[in-house]
Amino acid sequence: MKHVILIALCSMSLSGCLSTKTEEQQKIPIKPNLLIVLSDQHSYDMVGAYGNTQVITPNLDKFAQEGMLLENSFSNQPVCTPFRGMLMSGMHPLKNGAFTNDCPLLPNKSVLLAQKLKNEGYQTAYIGKWHLLGGDRDRGIPKGDLRYGFDKVITNNCHLDFRAHKSFFWNEKGEKEFFDEWEVYGQTKQALTYLDTIDKSKPFALVVSWHPPHDWGKKKGKDGKAHYRYDTLEEFMSLYNPDSIKVRQGIEPTPDLIDMYHGHMSMISGVDKAFGMLMNKLKETHLENNTVTVFTADHGDMLESYGALLPKQYPYDYSNRTPFLIKYPKKIKPNSKSDVLFGNLDFMPTILGFMDIPSKQNYDGKDLSDALLTNDQSAVDFVPIFNFERGTVKKHSWRGVITKAYTFTMNGGDNPLEMNNVLFDRKNDPYQLNNLFYNLAYKNKRLELEKLTNESMASFKDEFYVEKDFKSVEPEETWEYNYSKSPIELFENKINQIKQ
């Protein structure tokens, strides 16, 4: 009988200890995981959830329904390296060092995203395109400060050939290995393996960075000219009928342009499939509800819109307006949208805000987590946008702002009518077909936005344009153009008229 009593007392005692321990564990806040998925050169309008009825993106569309879609997300500088530098630092390129491609993000200038999370007890990893090292692109990422707080980095840096046995990555030993499948598939499987091997007792922060739907060089077109190349795996190319493809409004659907759209949208469907693989893994491992998951892009792709010669670096929505989808079931209601102005300078402070991780650092961006949840339009007046060029080449150097009503930029070249001088009415001209920069009726609006741009630049100590006398380049009468023809040709014609 005594033994029974002793066993009962021990059981009660053990039960009490276990109960106390469980209660203590329940009091410890469970930190959310973080998964950032990046697509490269992927415009906002190339996702079904943003209203495109021909691009096939079922997984991204489903994800948008499960979380929040940002209507007004912009890449402050629509170039790969600067985007990544701002995403990781929340700091302006003039402060973080990554002001153009192949200029490395400077370590130790501020506490970067992965460093902050590592200090908070996170296990951190980065898989895919890096493009932050600078210099020679054909090398792995050295261990130490230049990994910016990531414990594990598996990268192809920024090679452009995504085909099996052509695409590669640098393993943890610093050795180059080639994928035996399409690069996106290979990188996604690396991410899935990582999620299978993490320490389940610690939160994780993982970045998966795909290079497609970025072009992979140029090829000779049907018109005999060089055009960017986008063709990809037949399993995705076969999803689309080229004869049914429609191009953006105001653009002439040439055979070569249709080929570009075909390949670009096919790669996007491949990215969508890979994204679905990642989402399935989160569900299978019961990580979905406690993970802040973000899908966004470095910048967009002009796809020769408006006669553009480059895929990016322009102040047009197709270049700098990006998809931004975020899901966090503990805070974000399903199928929600926000049209608060958001720039990728805001990324780091906003994500930390969603994760309830305090930071005393002064960012150049804002924590917009609460504003996005409540769709608080008063939280942001404008997004600064800019583009830097190396040396004295200023053809694509420009500065400006995006407000809810207008997009404005002024260029730094010698040509006063270069296509980076823009003023677009965002409400009445959503496809940006009518540039009002030289319309005399909008002169006061243009000067108002120039002043705002200068004030923004002053806050970053950017001496690009302190003052400018617009009267010196003002045409004698209102001049408007439409983009049914190449704006470059129209600009050149107008310049010749002025010179005469």
My answer on whether 49 and 119 are in the same domain is yes
The answer to whether 262 and 46 have CB atoms below 8 angstroms apart is no
Q: Domain check: are 474 and 362 in the same one?
A: no
Question: What pLDDT shows up at residue 52?
Answer: 97
| C-beta of residue 422 within 8 angstroms of C-beta of residue 408 | yes
Same domain, 371 and 418: no
Instruction: Please identify, among 346, 375, 404, the residue that sits at the C-terminal boundary of a domain.
Output: 375
- What is the rounded distance in angstroms from the CA atom of residue 168 to the CA atom of residue 156? 6
- Integer Cα distance of 253 and 259 in angstroms: 10
Q: What is the pLDDT of residue 442?
A: 95
Within 8 A by CB and 6+ apart from 458, the residues are none
What's residue 418's pLDDT? 66
- Is residue 336 one of the residues assigned to a domain? yes
Query: Do 148 and 286 share a domain, yes or no?
Result: yes
What's the predicted TM-score (pTM) here?
Answer: 0.88
In a domain, 5, yes or no: no
Give the model confidence (pLDDT) of 269-322 as tens digits. Answer: 999 999 999 999 999 999 999 999 999 999 999 999 998 888 999 999 999 999
User: How many domains, in total, are found in the chain?
Assistant: 2
Domain that holds residue 431: 384-499
Is the same domain home to 358 and 392?
no
Among 375, 400, 426, the domain boundary falls at 375
CATH number at 199 reads 3.40.720.10
In a domain, 461, yes or no: yes
Is residue 16, in this structure, part of any structural domain at all?
no
Q: Is residue 366 part of a domain?
A: yes
Q: Tens of pLDDT along 227-283? A: 999 999 999 999 999 999 999 998 999 999 999 999 999 999 999 999 999 999 999
Give yes or no: residues 223 and 318 share one domain: yes
400 and 369, same structural domain? no
Report how far residue 62's alpha carbon sits from residue 335's, in angstroms, rounded to the nearest whole number: 9
- Calpha distance 294→369 (Å, rounded): 13
Look at residue 181 and tell me if it is in a domain. yes
- For helices 183-197 and 255-284, the axis angle rounded to 10 degrees is 10
Same domain, 354 and 403: no
Q: Examine the fold and report which residue of 349, 375, 401 is the final residue of a domain before the chain moves on.
A: 375
User: With a cut of 70, which residues of the chain have pLDDT below it?
Assistant: 1-29, 390-395, 412-418, 465-500
Q: Are both 278 and 415 inside the same structural domain?
A: no
Shared domain check, 398 and 266: no
**Same domain? 365 vs 448:** no
Return the C-alpha torsion angle 267, 262, 293, 368, nearest 10.
Answer: 130
Tokens for 75, please give them: 């890449």
180 located within any domain? yes
The CA distance from 387 to 99, in Å, is 8
Q: Is 13 part of any domain? A: no
CATH at residue 466:
3.30.1120.10
Q: What is the pLDDT of residue 415?
A: 52
393 lies in the same domain as 285? no
Q: What does the pLDDT read at residue 235?
A: 97
Look at residues 63, 103, 69 and name the one whose alpha carbon lies nearest to residue 85. Answer: 103
